[in-house]
Amino acid sequence: MMTPLERLAASRRSFLALAGAGGGAVALSACAGGGGGDDSSSGGDAADGGGDKSDDNPFGVKSGSSVDVVIFDGGYGDDYAKDAGKAFEKLHSDITPKVSSTVNIQPELQPRFVGGNPPDLFDNSGAQSMNVSALINQGELADLQPLLDVKGVDGTAIKDTLLPGSTDPGTYSGKFLAMNYVYTVYALWFSKKQFDEKGWSAPKTWDDMMSLGEEIKKTKAYPFSYGGQNASSYYMELALTMAIKEGGDEVRKKLDSLDAKAFEQDAVVKAYAALEDAVKAKFFAPGGEGIKHTQAQTDWVTGKSVLYPSGSWIENEQRGVTPKDYEMTAAPAPTLSSGGKMPYEAIHGTAGEPFVVPSKGKNTAGGMEFLRVMLSKEQATNFTTLTGSPTVVKDAAPSDEDASTALQATLKMISDAGENAFTFNLIDWYNLGPDTVTQWTEFLSGRVGADELREKQQKMIDKVREDDSVEKFDVK
């Protein structure tokens, strides 16, 4: 059984797509046509509940109705959702929210889709999440554009309260189908205390990284750890982030569009070669191919290694083992050169934790209204206070004195990046996680070089591109 920290790792790690959710894809494709619902859901406008509309009830959720909400009970827990339910009840005393939670999203919800009674809103996260492509193919998800267009609880149009790029991961070929709630910043994580004591600075260029790595080795520690069983592709994230910062948005577009020469782009070649230099310099703690991410991360915070590339979920994930005086902090991925098309402050930042409204639920308008409440500044701030992770809602965070060093670093990176935030989706869109883990484990353990790794990854996306049975998503 997974611990809460392990469940968190699975849920936050959309880049890895650890489980691929393949079972959900096959099963849901086989159950097309299930479900009905009332006229306010499957038969009509999903954003019109048939009740009286007002500023406090823009979707017209019917008086006396209930809203069925299912939360993934991972490392973020479900207290934030229960709190949102209480806020919903204060706003709508005549409507009943029913918030339940599980770690088994796909096994528990798939039979409900088959039986025609899906929930009104659910958090599609975890190692056993439902396959989004299959849900989309079967028309099982409601269009959430109306949610963006209405005024939020705070009186401002919701689309104007979100961080840049927040809706990109949930937009499929131009249709907004998933409201990702948590904003993740990918970065290099380290101990502020250790860096201050050693007089080290976060590397701004890869040359800085190589120099710092040699200094770290003098202390008998390793610059990096990795979990080869399931999380070695964190270093693919680092490499692609550096490539995009070097070559600009065109690099991202070719990757996400599965271009026939995506991994031959000059910036990608340079980024992979940079990581190969680190492998040859023995910057990676030995034995990584045989351990999971949890052990690699424990090795990191307990001093075997110094730096760890990960998403901003890492503080919460490591909360039980990180020394109290560690002072976890982070910095953006270094640039490959001083002449890159994006500044050092640019970040791979993206929204995660996707909430979706089934189109055949009994109260789709209620599902959207629950999301509208969650997107209020009060509830977003509450989430960050409880979990240490920011949401997609701008300026919704506890004060500095109440924020950890890790959260302060995350918020600063978001602020410093401004509009220079980007994400890439090919791994998540096409369930490539297992293959990338295998490929990067071979690379980090020294069994294959950078050129061979790129060839393997190019063949991987070529196979997807040439498979007509796989739906391809538009890249903007």
199-256 pLDDT, tens digit per residue, is 999 999 999 999 999 999 999 999 999 999 999 999 999 999 999 999 999 999 999 9
| pLDDT tens figures, 148-167 | 999 999 999 999 999 988 99
Local confidence band at 61 (pLDDT 50, 70, 90 cut-offs): very high
Task: List the domains of the chain with CATH numbers.
Answer: 4-184+353-417 (3.40.190.10), 185-349+425-465 (3.40.190.10)
Q: Which residue bears the tokens 């007089």?
A: 199
Can you give the pLDDT at residue 399?
85
Calculate mean pLDDT across residues 391-413. Answer: 91
- Mean pLDDT across the chain: 89
Percent of the chain at pLDDT > 90 equals 78
Return phi, psi of residue 171, to 5°: -105, 120
For residue 248, give the 3-state DSSP assignment.
coil
Contact 100, 69 (CB under 8 A): yes
Six token digits for residue 21: 């959710």
Q: Is the pLDDT confidence value at 305 over 50?
A: yes
Q: Which of 58, 46, 115 is nearest to 92 (CA)?
A: 58
∠ Cα 415 413 75 (to 5°): 115
pLDDT in tens, 282-301: 999 999 999 999 999 999 99
Q: Averaged over 407-436, what is the pLDDT? A: 92
- d(C-alpha 309, C-alpha 23), whole Å: 29
The confidence score (pLDDT) of residue 316 equals 83
DSSP calls for 37-95: --TTTTSS-TT--SS--BTTBTT-PPTT-EEEEEEE-STT-SHHHHHHHHHHHHH-TTS
Q: What is the dihedral of CA 238, 244, 247, 249, to 10 degrees?
A: 180
Let me know: does 161 contact 393? Beta carbons within 8 Å.
yes
pLDDT of amino acid 332: 98
Question: Is pLDDT at 34 greater than 80 in this prediction?
Answer: no
Rg (CA), the chain: 22
Say how far apart CA 240 and CA 272 lie, in whole Å.
Answer: 8
Rounded Cα distance, 188 and 202, in Å:
8
Q: Supply the pLDDT for residue 400.
A: 80
pLDDT at 99: 98
pTM of the model: 0.81
Mean pLDDT for 461-476 is 93
Sequence-separated (6 or more) residues with CB below 8 Å from residue 267: 242, 243, 244, 246, 247, 251, 336
**Given this model, what pLDDT does residue 15 score?**
37
Return the number of other C-beta atoms located less than 10 Å from residue 165's C-beta. Answer: 16
pLDDT given for residue 138 in this prediction = 92
Distances from the Cα of 234 to the Cα of 32, 370, 431, angstroms: 35, 33, 15
Per residue in 112-149, pLDDT (tens digit) is: 999 999 999 999 998 789 988 889 989 999 999 999 99
Cβ neighbours, 10 Å, residue 5: 20
Provide the token pair at 40: 């306010």
Over residues 307-359, the pLDDT tens digits come to 999 999 899 889 889 999 999 999 999 999 999 999 999 999 999 899 999 99
* Pairing outcome for strands 328-331 and 179-191: antiparallel
Q: pLDDT band for position 173 (50/70/90)?
A: confident
Residue 22 has pLDDT above 60, yes or no: no
H or E stretch covering 353: strand 347-356
